[in-house]
């Protein structure tokens, strides 16, 4: 009898343990299928960096690359992203997060095909606009989808994948630009689009969206597929139902309360200052910037190096976000960008650094070995530190703080406003950047970015709360009571 009991007991214990065993492999597959959209977004956003130099060399009269064309080609993506981001606010609730991501395939495919076959300027611009619409939809929908299909054990890690994939997409563009003609770069952009569409056809929709739309049975099947049949998915389903039922619609009167308008204004202004650091025009015009600065290496190799540095920086930053304070990272980030932008300003202000007169050894953006000096790599190092500094704080922390300080009921309104502010600022800067370079050289815009970094430091000191180690209730009370993180007693 004792032997029978000892043999039976482990079986019973194993059955009990297996009942609550969560499986992650299919969850990771679903997240990967979605974040391919961020890879496409990163690829499409920096597309002009590799294309503009090639079009200039072709000197095609049907596709002129004067300063006006370059400015529109670089900036029209932001207009599309604004439209796509605002559309996603409606699509996410109407057709669901997964289907919103899948809808983005239509403008993305059409846009890349138009650019690949373009023989007129308007086709290039329209293709760029459509890829911007797709990018705006995916950038707004994918983080929501990934967050809602994840469980707390992996939500932090999976939450960083959209940004990492966007950076990887940009790096892919820079690397492919080393070997592919510009039309084939557009064709290459279609590959991840089709893979994403195929994979998403087999993925479940967000359980939270299904519960919100009274599709409980489908939500059960989705959770069971994502977590595994031996997981405690019923308890998670009940938690989602309670969360959905506790939500309320925000009114105009609610927005007059400091509890709502203070975190909304802080989030909006942070997104404004984030773009004012110049990150978008720097990434979009990376190769033209290196051509203008007469860097020793060929510009396309410089762009690939910066892309690698950006990817490593984002991974390092993701590991530091929960270890260092939010404000400390914002201070460090702004100070690094300030020093790097100041160095770039000083270097490009020197008349000897003008790429037209610098030396007879410089031809078509490349310097011969006889003309190579240590000073010719200063622009490359400066841009690398700008990218590194941005990835350390003002890139990821603005998104993290939004998720921490915004009241749940205000997130829909606030996210739409932040999308509008962010992409409108990106459009304005990207449109003006090349005009400023043509009129004053690289010195002027990078000096402007220096000033913005100083403003960012002051804004962080005066307006941004430190949320590390604070509960959501303490953060909410901070805005409800003024400047207090203590929890108000009932």
What pLDDT is recorded for position 402?
Answer: 73
In the structure encoding, which two tokens stand for residue 94, read together?
A: 């109407």
Judge whether 85 and 271 are in contact, CB under 8 Å. Answer: no
Q: Is the pLDDT reported for residue 297 higher than 60?
A: yes
pLDDT for the residue 20: 65
Which residue in 408, 414, 403, 381 sits closest to 321, CA to CA? Answer: 403
Q: Which two tokens stand for residue 329?
A: 């990272």
- Supply the angle between the helices 286-293 and 299-320 in degrees, to the nearest 10: 120
Which range of 148-162, 165-179, 297-311 scores highest in mean pLDDT? It is: 165-179
pTM beyond cutoff 0.85: no
pLDDT exceeds cutoff 70 at 486: no
Instruction: pLDDT band for 403, please (50, 70, 90 cuts).
Output: low
Nearest to 438 by CA among 343, 361, 355, 350: 355
Using CA atoms, how far apart are residues 271 and 146, in angstroms rounded to an integer? 22
**DSSP three-state, residue 367:** strand
The model's pLDDT over 119-135, given as tens digits with 9 standing for 90+, comes to 888 999 999 999 999 99
pLDDT at 412: 63
pLDDT digits (tens, 9 = 90+) for 89-105: 888 878 888 999 999 99
Q: Which of 53, 475, 92 is nearest to 299 (CA)?
A: 53
Q: What is the pLDDT of residues 363-395, one digit of tens each?
A: 333 334 434 455 578 888 888 899 889 988 888
pLDDT of residue 446: 92
Read off the pLDDT of residues 228-284 as tens digits, 9 standing for 90 and up.
777 777 887 787 777 677 666 666 666 667 667 788 888 889 889 999 998 989 988
Give me the chain's average pLDDT, please: 80
Which pLDDT does position 196 carry in this prediction? 94
Supply the DSSP symbol for 358: S
- Per-residue pLDDT band at 215 (split at 50, 70, 90): confident
Cβ atoms of 53 and 365 closer than 8 Å: yes
**366 three-state secondary structure:** strand
* H-assigned helices in 177-257: 182-200, 207-212, 216-227, 233-245
Residue of 385, 314, 330, 316 whose CA lies nearest to 162: 314
Of 134, 138, 145, 131, residue with least CA distance to 97:
145
d(CA 183, CA 151): 42
Both tokens assigned to 100: 């919103």
In order of their start, the domains of the chain are 22-203 (1.20.1250.20), 211-247 (no CATH), 250-490 (1.20.1250.20)
């Amino acid at each position: 009898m004792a032997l029978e009991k000892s043999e039976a007991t482990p079986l019973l214990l194993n059955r009990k343990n297996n009942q609550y065993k969560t499986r992650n492999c299919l969850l990771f597959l679903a997240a990967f299928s979605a974040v391919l959209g961020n890879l496409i977004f990163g690829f499409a956003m920096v597309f002009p960096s590799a294309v503009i130099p090639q079009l200039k060399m072709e000197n095609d009269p049907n596709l002129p690359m004067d300063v006006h064309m370059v400015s529109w080609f670089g900036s029209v993506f932001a207009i599309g992203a604004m439209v796509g981001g605002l559309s996603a606010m409606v699509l996410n609730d109407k057709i669901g997060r997964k289907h919103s991501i899948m809808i983005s395939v239509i403008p993305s495919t059409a846009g890349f095909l138009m650019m690949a076959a373009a023989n007129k300027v308007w086709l290039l611009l329209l293709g760029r606009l459509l890829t911007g619409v797709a990018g705006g939809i995916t950038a707004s929908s994918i983080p929501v989808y990934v967050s809602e299909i994840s469980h707390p054990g992996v939500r932090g890690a999976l939450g960083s994948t959209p940004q990492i994939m966007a950076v990887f997409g940009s790096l892919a563009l820079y690397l492919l630009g080393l070997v592919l003609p510009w039309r084939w770069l557009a064709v290459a952009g279609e590959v991840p689009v089709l893979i994403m569409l195929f994979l998403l056809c087999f993925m479940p929709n967000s359980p939270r969206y299904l519960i919100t739309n009274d599709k409980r049975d489908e939500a059960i099947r989705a959770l069971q597929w994502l977590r595994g049949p031996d997981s405690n998915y019923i308890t998670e389903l009940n938690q989602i139902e309670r969360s959905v039922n506790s939500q309320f619609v925000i009114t105009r009167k609610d927005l007059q309360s400091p509890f709502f308008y203070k975190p909304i204004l802080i989030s909006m202004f942070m997104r404004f200052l984030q773009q004012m650091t110049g990150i978008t025009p720097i990434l979009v015009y990376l190769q033209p910037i290196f051509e203008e600065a007469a860097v020793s290496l060929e510009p396309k190799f410089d762009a690939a190096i910066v892309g690698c540095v950006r990817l490593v920086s984002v991974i390092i930053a993701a590991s530091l976000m929960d270890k260092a304070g939010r404000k400390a990272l914002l201070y460090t980030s702004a100070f690094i960008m300030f020093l790097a932008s100041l160095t770039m300003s000083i270097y490009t202000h020197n008349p000897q650094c003008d790429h037209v007169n610098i030396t007879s050894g410089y031809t078509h953006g490349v310097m011969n070995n006889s003309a190579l000096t240590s000073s010719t790599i200063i622009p490359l190092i400066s841009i690398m530190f700008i990218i590194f500094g941005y990835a350390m704080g003002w890139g990821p922390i603005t998104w993290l703080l939004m998720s921490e300080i915004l009241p749940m009921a205000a997130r829909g309104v606030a996210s739409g406003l932040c999308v509008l502010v962010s992409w409108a600022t990106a459009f304005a800067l990207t449109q003006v950047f090349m005009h400023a370079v043509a009129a004053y050289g690289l010195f002027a815009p990078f000096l402007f970015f220096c000033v913005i970094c100083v403003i960012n430091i002051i804004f962080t000191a005066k307006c941004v709360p430190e949320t590390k180690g604070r509960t959501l209730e303490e953060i909410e009370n901070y805005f409800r009571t003024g400047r207090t993180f203590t929890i108000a007693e009932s």
